[in-house]
Amino acid sequence: MQTTDFTSPNSTTPGSSTPCRQLDSSRRDFLRLWAASALGVGAMGAGARAGRPLGRLVRPGEFDRPPARRLEVLDPALLTLVNRITFGYSRDTYNEAEPLGYDAFLESQLAYEGIDDSDIEARLSGYDTLTMSSQQIYDTYSMQSSVPMAQLVDSTLLRAVYSKRQLFERMVEFWSDHFNMNLQSDVLAFLKTADDRDVIRRHALGTFPELLNASARSGAMLFYLDNYANVVGHAQENYARELMELHTVGVDGGYTQQDVEEVARCLTGWTLYGFGGQLGEFIFYRDNHDVDEKTVLGVYIPALGGEIDGQTVLDSLAYHPNTARFIAHKLCVRFLGYDPPEDIVQSTTSTYLATGGDIKEMLRVILQPEVLLHLSTPKLKRPFHLMTSLLRATQADITLPRFVRDYLFTMGHTPFFWPTPDGYPDSLAAWGSGVLPRWQFVSDLLDGSIPGVSMSLHALLKSEGGTDPGMAGAAIDQILTGGSLPAAEVVKLQQLYEDVSATNPPAVADTFGVGASLPGYQWY
């Protein structure tokens, strides 16, 4: 059973329990200098060893070299779709998508309930807290809060790597950021699992109004943003403010401080059961509710409405045009790029308003082949995405996820650990300078230095024809990206493999490591 202290990263350096293989100095310098120059940063010196951010991660294709030999050319539209709606390209996923074609594969991912996911469910069968109520988790683990925390984080990681319902898992991540809660906040260790299961996962591909309503009644959200303490005469405005700023109309959505105060009054009496047998379950206490009339964003709410006051506010916000725009833009940023085309944002907004916030219908607009293939722009993989994509591409078998989890601490992207309600950022500025921790994870994983993770790089290389003369670089490109690395990077991979393979058997791991550190792999 997991008992890791989740208040800070483990004192043991990630991967340190298995010593890293020592490279000879000439080969080590080649790897370091090539990777550094390719990523647009200087050679790693004292500043890098101290953990300070280095330079920037350049966009793929910013430098040019002669073309490299290629293997199979995959369908570019389908490959783009696989890259955007999954946690990283894998040959297995592409092989599942290819006979279906673009449209049918997308529809199968949207109809996720019909996808057999028994393999990942078997992996998670020992994670007992995932099916427990908050009260049951507390009754069982009140003195071991790290257990439900570890199981939630590790199951999230394993699902991202192994689930066949990849678009669903991407949307679970999206909404977990949107309705962010810090798992380290007091009793959230006991409450967040139910929120993840019954709110985020249940409604991730439903409608936004249903999701918003479930979140507003979630014991975890009521506690995290303090609405449990919102009573008449002493209105607590924290949830009311974040409800508008972060969850619905957005910071520029046209509301005022008076609206915040009125929303808070509407939500007085919305609270949760404490430690009396129904921990975390929603309850409305009429005696704690402000019964007077209110007005929110111009909507008049008559007196004596009781719980309906809060429902009226949620409905008004869920169907507000500014909410439609806010959600549509965030979805377009997630799937298309940091600065999505305005006409697609507008089309997605119109679809939200026409369908009552149907999430699948919005995704159908965003993920049209003519949009995704021609209008999407490169995005830097956030650390969690980088990790899962490499684990997926290399067909890694994870038996001890806690050792992989340690690297998420180091890279600053452990699920449910962002300290503020705005959620992990989805921007280049937030992630573009943290080069060294990314390299460290890639290096340790492909060196075989992470306990509880195994893979067969040699078998993968052989399966893609990489053991044929002159084809190692192209095969590694095929394994990692489906053959989409810039030609210059494939040339360099082949050069590296040839330079070191004659005298150093670990050339395969070294070449995979450099391949996963290149701009073409860091971006997608």
**Nearest CA to 495 among 462, 521, 518?**
518
Lowest-confidence pick of 84-93, 242-251, 386-395, 500-509: 500-509
**Nearest CA to 120 among 155, 152, 150, 153?**
155
**Predicted structure pTM score:** 0.90
Q: Report pLDDT for 500.
A: 80
* 189-206 tens-digit pLDDT: 999 999 999 999 999 999
When pLDDT is averaged across residues 44-64 and rounded to a whole number, the result is: 37
For residue 75, report the phi and psi dihedrals to the nearest 5 degrees. Answer: -60, 120
Inform me whether the pLDDT recorded for 507 exceeds 90. Answer: no
Residue 512 C-beta-side C-alpha neighbours within 13 Å:
26
* 256-304 tens-digit pLDDT: 999 999 999 999 999 999 988 899 999 999 999 999 999 999 999 999 9
* 102-135 tens-digit pLDDT: 999 999 999 999 999 999 999 999 999 999 999 9
Inform me whether the pLDDT recorded for 5 exceeds 90. Answer: no
Inform me whether the pLDDT recorded for 55 exceeds 50. Answer: no
* 163-178 tens-digit pLDDT: 999 999 999 999 999 9
Q: How far apart are CA 480 and CA 246, in angstroms?
A: 36
Q: What one-character-per-residue DSSP string does 152-217 give?
A: HHHHHHHHHHH-S-HHHHHHHHHHHHHT---TTSTTHHHHHHHHIIIIIIHHTTSBHHHHHHHHHT
Q: Report pLDDT for 16.
A: 35
Torsion of CA 92, 95, 96, 102, to 10 degrees: 130
Inform me whether the pLDDT recorded for 64 exceeds 70. Answer: no
When pLDDT is averaged across residues 73-88 and rounded to a whole number, the result is: 96
**Percent of the chain surpassing pLDDT 90:** 82
**Nearest CA to 37 among 52, 21, 57?**
57
- Tell me the two tokens of residue 270: 């919305």
Q: Report pLDDT for 276.
A: 83
Q: Report pLDDT for 3.
A: 41
Q: Report pLDDT for 502.
A: 60
**Percent of the chain surpassing pLDDT 70:** 86
Q: Report pLDDT for 61.
A: 52
Q: Report pLDDT for 10.
A: 36
Q: Report pLDDT for 13.
A: 34
243 versus 43: the higher-pLDDT residue is 243
Q: Report pLDDT for 60.
A: 55
Contact of 382 with 426, CB cutoff 8 Å: yes
Lowest-confidence pick of 3-12, 270-279, 468-477, 482-491: 3-12
Handedness of CA 362, 366, 367, 370 (dihedral sign): positive
Contact of 117 with 164, CB cutoff 8 Å: yes
C-alpha to C-alpha distances, 505 to 23, 498, 499, 511, nearest whole angstrom: 11, 11, 12, 11
When pLDDT is averaged across residues 386-391 and rounded to a whole number, the result is: 98
Contact of 216 with 195, CB cutoff 8 Å: no
Cβ count near 31 (within 10 Å)? 20
Q: How far apart are CA 268 and CA 471, in angstroms?
A: 67
Mean pLDDT, rounded, of the chain: 89
Q: How far apart are CA 168 and CA 517, in angstroms?
A: 28
Inform me whether the pLDDT recorded for 50 exceeds 80. Answer: no
48 versus 103: the higher-pLDDT residue is 103
Q: Report pLDDT for 67.
A: 41
61 versus 224: the higher-pLDDT residue is 224
Domain ranges of the chain: 1-184+385-524
- When pLDDT is cut at 50, 70 and 90, the band that residue 15 belongs to is very low
**Alpha helices (runs of H) in 369-400, residue ranges in sequence order:** 369-375, 383-393
Q: Report pLDDT for 489.
A: 94
**Nearest CA to 40 among 63, 64, 56, 51?**
56
Handedness of CA 121, 218, 168, 182 (dihedral sign): negative
Inform me whether the pLDDT recorded for 158 exceeds 80. Answer: yes
Inform me whether the pLDDT recorded for 38 exceeds 70. Answer: no
Q: Report pLDDT for 505.
A: 63
Inform me whether the pLDDT recorded for 136 exceeds 60. Answer: yes
> 307: burial class by Cβ within 10 Å (0-12, 13-18, 19+)?
middle
